Amino acid sequence: MPRKPRTTRDNLSSLKKAALTRSNPRYVLRLYVVGTTPRSTRAIVNIRKICDEHLAGRYDLDVIDVLKHPALAAGEQIIAAPTLIKKLPLPLRRFIGDMSSTERILLGLDLRSYGEQPLPNVQDQ
């Protein structure tokens, strides 16, 4: 008996299950900025630093300038910039600002639990 072809819904479901069940999931992030303002530049630097330190090799970060790609911003309903959207792993999360609150970002990315003490920095020891 021939196999039933997979639908888009089946493919999305498989992607969601894979993202949820992996012990080290790959993070898909989108950062929406407005041009090269100081706040946008800070947000890019800060989120790259957080990702490099806590998600090394496990993330895809797209930086999208809403001035160059307004349709993408409209599709995501971006009302403020900079805005970071965590697409995967689920649940979807949004962060607004210059990404300078590392603890808040780590909590939102589910990389740290509420009340958990930050890990000591190797340089601090």
Q: What is the pLDDT of residues 2-47, one digit of tens each?
A: 555 555 555 556 555 555 445 789 999 999 999 999 999 999 999 9
Phi/psi of residue 110, nearest 5 degrees: 60, 35
Domain assignment of residue 3, yes or no: no
Instruction: Return the pLDDT at 8.
Output: 53
Q: Does some domain include residue 14?
A: no
Number of domains in the chain: 1
Domain CATH for 80: 3.40.30.10
Residue type, 27: Y
Q: How high is the pLDDT of residue 24? A: 85
Query: Residue 65 — very low, low, confident or very high, per pLDDT cuts 50/70/90?
Result: very high
pLDDT band at 117 (very low <50, low <70, confident <90, very high): low
For residue 122, tell me if it sits in a domain.
no
- CA neighbours within 13 Å on the CB side: how many for 96? 5
- 124 band by pLDDT with thresholds 50, 70 and 90: very low
What is the extent of the structural domain holding 106? 27-114
Instruction: In whole angstroms, give the CA distance from residue 43 to residue 21.
Output: 30
